Structure 1
Amino acid sequence: MALSVGDILTESITPAAPAGWFPAGVEGQERYWDGTAWTDHVRPVNAASGRSDFAAPGSTAPGPEKKTRNLLGIVALGLAAVGFIFACIPGALIVGWILLPIAFILGIVALFQKDKPKWQGLTAIIVSVVGTIVGVVVFFVVAATALNNAIDDTVTDKVGTSDIVEEGAPGTAEKPALAAAQELVLGETAFGVDAESGMGWYAVQLTNPNEDYVFGNAAIEVEAYDASGVLLDTGTDYSTILSGSSWYVGRFLQVGSAQIDHIEVRGPSASAATNSPAAETGSFTMGEVTTGSEYDWMTVSGTVTSKFTEDQDMVRIDVIARNGDGKIVGVDTTYTDRVPAGGTAAWKVPLWEVPLDSKVEAFAHL
């Protein structure tokens, strides 16, 4: 009959090592073997009778006690070491604060593992505690440095670098305070629906009365309502509103078969205005607008000239068409790829469902 490794070990140990005191692998010390396994009882050699209580002659002492490695303690120690390193790096503190508590907990668990070395777990606990203290110190040093830099920057911004001049000395006259920005003014409005496409359109006239203020990337929201006051759709355009009067057009995409009764316009308040001296702010000048026809629609073309010091990309051209009675009957929008600084660019756009004899106006926007 074949024997397993466990059977062989049992048969070789049990008869050869009955219960008794045997060398424990440590010089001058014995540990008690209960006939099956090592116990926790130890004693010095010759503590009782001056000799070890060996079994009967010919018996073989059990092998020395073997302690397995404490893998959990090793893992805890490794995590503690890595966490300590990260805790010393200002930009990686968070990693250290994650690893160190984990190492601390694993170290405690490793201490309570039976018959396994304890030093790795104990060392992991010590390293994680010290690393946490170091991490806290590094954090406060970094925070204090950042706060000090912020205070220095604030003081510099407020004081500046100009020389101190005695009061009343020539050339010390204070600059006049900037006038407060005024609200945008809503002028003429118009709306309608294209019979063929079914999409609604709108045109609103806005005036920026501020010579030295602009409204950058301003949202112009136009809401369409039916006769019952139900909001049908909202058209939103974003544009830089320069000084002066201009028209802004757009589309309602979700009106469907509903009838637009009136529109409401919402724009930025005066508090959103940005100071921009007129002498430093650029502008556009529209050239002559020409119209033609192609099949059943009107074609509109023209030029736009820039008075900006830099090239302007994707300049928007809003176009409105009026019939013989001066009523706005259609709108559209196109874009130029680029208008050179101080230069001129051409543009062209088709207008649908408007009388071919309509008068057309065009307006450029950033």
Structure 2
Amino acid sequence: MTDSTTPTAPAGWFPAGVDGQERYWNGSEWTDQVRPVGAGVEVAGAPYAAPEASAPPKKARNVLGIVALVIAAVGFIFACIPGALIVGWILLPIAFILGIIALFQKDKPKWQGLTAIIVSVVGTIVGVVVFIAIAAGAVNDAIQESVTEEVGTADVVEEGATAGEAPAVGEQPAGAVAQDLVLGETAFGVDTETGMGWYAVQVTNPNTDYIFGNAGIDVEAYDASGVLIDTDSTYTTILSGTSWLVGRFFDIGTGQIDHLEVRGPTAEAATFASAAETGSLELGEITTGSEYDRLTVNGTVTSNFSEDQDLVRIDVVARDASGKIVGVDFTFTDRVPAGGTAAWNVGFWEVPLDSKIEAYPHL
């Protein structure tokens, strides 16, 4: 403390109360300016009492920033939980606004408010991603609700006897019950040139008046030890009768396919469609030729549907002279006109040039 009879020191550098440092006195109070002792001209023998040194004032806490950060962290956690997503969407905007306000608090730390803003923005993005994933999952579950059972393994439900007047066109007969799809012959192999596997599976819809719309068929390749090597999925409309589905395995690597397992919709997924109303696709004459070592196949498909059919798929199976399936391929038509005909063609590289060709159209 200075003596009350001693005049206050003029502005200048004085010992700061910390060894080796001086602080600047502006004539009435201490400033935040400090320097090492001896960095300037010393005030020696001054007739004034040096003011007492004091520590620089500490910045106050930014309470609003801390609150914003806590709310943002909690909102982020809720945004990651599907069942509590709405809570996160309520808390995150609040944290964002509080963070902006905290950022402009005078003489208070800014990092809490800035961090709260960043966390709230990232949390909102995460919440949107979670919501999209939930919505996509719900749609997929609705489409694939019945794609869990192996084709042809469920017991056939006996149809109940019906009597009385015939149902109106388009109306499901009383007591009519759909039957499961039936899995028939299967075949598989590997293209030596590409290293990719291929498969062909025979599927029969025994129902005259039921179809399987947008049916998901999963074909799984297993090795001799029962290890699943690869899976291929096909989505198609399975009309009444027998057909073939073909495809490829892209990720078998060095695995050796021993057998296939096929999974698809059960009878509960069948849709009633009177045979009198359901259209069909019919194949015309198939011709083959050769180009170098490539077997070329050409054909036509005719529709008796009342509307044009876009992207009709043609699955093609090649058999050697003994009847063994030795290769598969498929193609699409751009459009088959209602009541009209469209051409199609495919090519085989690794089958005998005299192979017998079978083709099956699918919606």
TM-score between the two structures when normalised by the length of structure 1: 0.53
Does the aligned pair in 2 maintain the 1:187–1:205 contact within 8 Å?
Answer: yes
Q: Is contact 1:287–1:302 with CA below 8 Å preserved after alignment? A: yes
1:254 counterpart SS class: coil
Tell me the residue number matched to 1:213: 210
Looking at structure 1, the residues matched to 165 and 289 of structure 2 have their Cα atoms a distance apart, in angstroms, of 59
Contact 1:330 1:352 survives alignment (8 Å): no
2:228 maps to what in 1?
Answer: 231
Task: Pick the aligned partner of 1:290 from 279, 287, 296.
Answer: 287
Shift of 1:257: 1.8
**Equivalent AA in structure 2 for residue 216 of structure 1:** G
2:335 to 333, 338, 341: 338
Q: How many percent of aligned residue pairs carry the same amino acid?
A: 73
User: Does residue 265 of structure 1 match 2:240?
Assistant: no
Question: What is the match of residue 164 of structure 1?
Answer: none
Q: Distance in 1 between matches of 2:331 and 2:295?
A: 14
What residue is the counterpart of 1:300 in the other structure? 297
Alignment of 1:298-337 (within 5 A): 298-337=295-334
| Superposed counterparts of 1:113-152, under 5 Å | none
Matches within 5 A, 1:251-262: 251-262=248-259
Displacement of 1:238: 0.3
- 1:190 equivalenced with 2:190 (yes/no): no
Give secondary structure in 2 for the equivalent of 1:177: coil
The one-letter code matched in structure 2 to 1:263 is: L
Mark the structure with the bigger radius of gyration.
1
Which of the pair is proportionally richer in helix?
1
What is the distance in 2 between the residues matched to 1:243 and 1:208? 5
Letter in 2 for 1:317: I
Amino acid aligned to 2:321: G
What is the CA–CA distance in structure 2 between the aligned matches of 1:352 and 1:296, rounded to whole Å? 6
* Alignment partners' CA distance in 1, 2:346 and 2:183: 26
Residues 118-152 of structure 1: per-residue CA shift (max 9 Å, x gap): xxxxxxxxxxxxxxxxxxxxxxxxxxxxxxxxxxx
Change (3 A) 1:174 1:333: closer
Q: Shift of residue 222 of structure 1?
A: 0.5
Q: Report the residue type matching 2:218 in the other structure.
A: E
In structure 2, relative to structure 1, the CA distance for the partners of 1:283 and 1:173 (3 Å cut) is: closer
Contact 1:217 1:238 in 2 (8 A): yes
Unaligned runs of 5+ in 2: 1-89, 95-163, 168-172
Counterpart residue number, 1:348: 345
Q: For each residue in 1:156-193, what CA deviation from the matched residue of structure 2 results, as whole angstroms up to 9, or x when unmatched?
A: xxxxxxxxxxxxxxxx9695504100000111100000
Moved over 6 A (4+): none
Shift of residue 214 of structure 1? 0.4
Note the C-alpha offset of 1:248.
Answer: 0.4
Aligned to 2:241: 244
Cα distance in 1, alignment partners of residues 317 and 253 from structure 2:
22
Q: Which runs of 5+ in 1 are unaligned?
A: 1-97, 103-171
Supply the distance in 2 between the matched residues of 1:335 and 1:214 (Cα, whole angstroms).
21
Counterpart Cα distance in 2 of 1:306 and 1:187: 26
Q: Could you tell me which residue of structure 2 aligns to residue 278 of structure 1?
A: 275
Distance 1:223 1:363 in 2: 21
Amino acid at match of 1:340: P
| Residue 351 of structure 1: how far off its partner (Å) | 1.1
Deviation at 1:321, TM superposition (A): 0.2
Residue in 1 that maps onto 2:109: none
Q: State how many pairs are aligned.
A: 199
Q: RMSD in angstroms over aligned alpha carbons? A: 2.0
**Matched residue type, 2:297:** V
Deviation of the 1:364 alpha carbon = 0.3
Q: SS where residue 250 of structure 1 aligns? A: strand
Q: Distance in 2 between matches of 1:178 and 1:188?
A: 32
Distance 1:287 1:237 in 2: 24
Aligned to 2:268, the other structure's residue is in SS state helix
TM-score (norm 2): 0.53
